[in-house]
Amino acid sequence: MKKIFTLLLAALGLNTACSQNFENYDVKEFAELIADPEVLILDVRKADEFAEGHIKGAILIDQFQSDFVEQAQAKLPKEKTIAVYCRSGRRSANAADKLADVGYKCVNLKGGIIAWKEAGMPVITTEQDMNDLIVRIAEIEVHPQYLKEYLEAARNVGAESVKKEPGVICIFPNQMTEDENKIRIVEIYRNKETYEHHLKTEHFQTYKQGTLHMVRSLNLVDLSPLDKEAMPLIFTKIQ
């Protein structure tokens, strides 16, 4: 009977105390936790719920999607603590349990975003999120004798940054067709905070210090996207 009851709770997205392998934090504890830039915030609600209001910096992965765990493993580094929330705390508890089962350290927000809002804590809409984006192109010219070495370093730092830093949406190096020594890197960051954090990471510092002597010139061009709402669709189509 107990086993049947446990399975029933799991099917409803609930967890029993005996199987819980994550921590539950109240709003104050959760807010203190996510103040650490090394902690990743995960919203496991549906896209329309997320768009109406979410915690700033949160990554959206719908807990009801059949490939939820696979998406999380592709987007969330396992060495990071994952701060999970949903509307009321039920879905996020279920999500935290699933993620903990595959090796993540998870903390669930008790009461979900309902409790968060009731405590007067801030939320942000997807439209506001888009307004915080940093979009730029790095115009780089490389000394010819270092070209092969530089291209390898640029590919590596781009891939590692996107993989390890959820706030780094895109670092995409390109070589100009007319002059192979001229590189154009498309960079998109979630906001100023994630960009500043990126600059301090070990992989970026290794790239920067290791390529200083290879670069003849560098110019950063900041851009203002004309249609920010189209950006999520672009990346979805690429997938």
Q: Phi and psi for 4 in degrees, rounded to 5?
A: -65, -40
Query: Do residues 154 and 203 lie in contact, with contact meaning Cβ atoms separated by under 8 Å?
Result: no
Angle at which helices 202-211 and 147-164 pack, to 10 degrees? Answer: 170
Q: How far is CA 103 from the centre of its chain?
A: 18
- Based on the residue annotation, tell me whether 18 is a catalytic residue of this protein: no
Collect all residues with Cβ–Cβ distance below 8 Å to 223 and sequence separation of at least 6.
135, 136, 137
Neighbours of 112 (CB within 10 A): 23
Catalytic residue among 18, 86, 106, 170: 86
Q: Is 11 exposed, middle or buried (0-12, 13-18, 19+ CB in 10 A)?
A: exposed
Catalytic residues: 86
